Amino acid sequence: MRSYLLMCVSLFICTALFAGDKDKGKEKNKTKDSVAVASEEVVAFVDSVNKSMKWQTGTIQLPGGEAQLQIPTGFKFLGAEQSQQILETYWGNLKDGSVLGMIFPEKFGPFDDNSWVYVVRYEGMGYVKDDDADKIDYDDLLKQIKEDVTEANKERVKQGLQTFSVIGWAQKPYYDKDRKVLHWAKEFKVEGSEGTTINYDIRVLGRKGVLSLGAICSKNELPEINKEMDQVLKMAKFTDGNKYSDFNPDVDNVAAWTIGGLVAGKVLAKVGFFAVILKFLKFIIIGVVAAGGAIWRFITGRKKNEESNHYTPTDTQE
């Protein structure tokens, strides 16, 4: 992880230097030293954030009391505030106040290259009817999702975020009617990136809403997600009185969305957020550090020095 960050720092600085100094080769040693200083700043920043993470295990009571998580050995949970900071500040996602936390494998953190993670939400949309589960044409649904992504990208552009496209199903939707669990995986291509991102979505249906676990991983990490799937599903539980079987048609609200609507991401799309979480990580971290740290001071300071050393003729009066 650190070697990759150092490489990115070097590229970031060299690109900035090249843009304003194409023909000069006088300051190679100075540039090397500055890259080393900037690299240390990035590593120190990442270490500082990692140390500030407040990890939890065991029983996690989610806000509202409808659901809870049981985090076993081998996993760790991060609360809402820090999870939102990671998603928005370091991974470049839109703001989403519905995020309640993140579940990481015990051995990984937010800045690890090969890390995968589950983002936890509770969507209090009401009781979701599952009558349509066996009737959905998921190939047609995929076409609809691609159209929604096109619209979502317009919002991302407005907010200065990178855009993405849907490659297809990494795993077709499957609904377990007995357990009331729906899961599927979509593969995304991020503009300007070489690889792809996979969102593996799980929805656990309850009496008054849906507990959402969304895994972010690469294609290479998908087998690991599948391997841990059953264990992850056992973590999510609705509390007594809030289970799907506790539904009371006389007093409870029925959701406007059915199984197909959940897969299409219509719930989140309605409020200007599309149901995809992207992990841009590397250059965003560098950008965060650069905005107030050594990299930015180095680049701007160097430009100021060049400007002050540049001869500008002035008018004189005799």
As a whole number, mean pLDDT of residues 216-240 equals 87
Which neighbouring-strand residues pair with 238?
A: 67
Classify burial at 103, counting beta carbons within 10 Å of its beta carbon; exposed 0-12, middle 13-18, buried 19 or more: buried
Which two three-digit tokens encode residue 259?
């199984």
The residue among 277 and 273 whose pLDDT is bigger is: 277
Inform me whether the pLDDT recorded for 48 exceeds 70. yes
What is the helix (H) or strand (E) element at residue 196, kind and residue range?
strand 196-205
Angle at 157 between CA 90 and CA 265, to 5 degrees: 80
Judge whether 180 and 268 are in contact, CB under 8 Å: no
Region label for 231, one of left (φ > 0), alpha (ψ between -120 and 50) or beta (otherwise): alpha
What's the CA gap between 109 and 130, in Å, rounded? 36
Residue 255: predicted pLDDT: 93
3-class DSSP string for 113-179: CCCCEEEEEEECCCECCCCCCCCCCHHHHHHHHHHHHHHHHHHHHHCCCCCEEEEEEEEEEEEECCC
The residue among 207 and 88 whose pLDDT is bigger is: 207
Least reliable range by pLDDT among 22-36, 67-81, 189-203, 234-248: 22-36
What backbone torsions phi and psi does residue 289 show, to the nearest 5 degrees? -70, -40
Inform me whether the pLDDT recorded for 208 exceeds 90. yes
Inform me whether the pLDDT recorded for 117 exceeds 50. yes
Inform me whether the pLDDT recorded for 294 exceeds 50. no
The residue among 223 and 253 whose pLDDT is bigger is: 253
Residue 277: predicted pLDDT: 55
Inform me whether the pLDDT recorded for 3 exceeds 70. no
Residue 271: predicted pLDDT: 34
pLDDT of 140-196, one tens digit each?
989 988 888 888 788 778 877 778 888 999 999 999 999 999 999 888 887 877 778
What's the CA gap between 311 and 122, in Å, rounded? 63
Judge whether 260 and 148 are in contact, CB under 8 Å: no
Inform me whether the pLDDT recorded for 315 exceeds 70. no
What backbone torsions phi and psi does residue 146 show, to the nearest 5 degrees? -60, -40
Q: What is the mean pLDDT of the chain?
A: 76
What's the CA gap between 145 and 158, in Å, rounded? 20
As a whole number, mean pLDDT of residues 282-296 equals 48
Judge whether 225 and 204 are in contact, CB under 8 Å: no
Sequence letter at residue 216: I
29 — pLDDT class (breaks 50, 70, 90):
low
As a whole number, mean pLDDT of residues 34-53 equals 71
Judge whether 86 and 110 are in contact, CB under 8 Å: yes
As a whole number, mean pLDDT of residues 262-281 equals 53
As a whole number, mean pLDDT of residues 271-278 equals 44
C-alpha R_g of the chain:
24
DSSP state, 26?
T
What's the CA gap between 93 and 87, in Å, rounded? 6
Sequence letter at residue 123: E
What's the CA gap between 200 and 33, in Å, rounded? 43
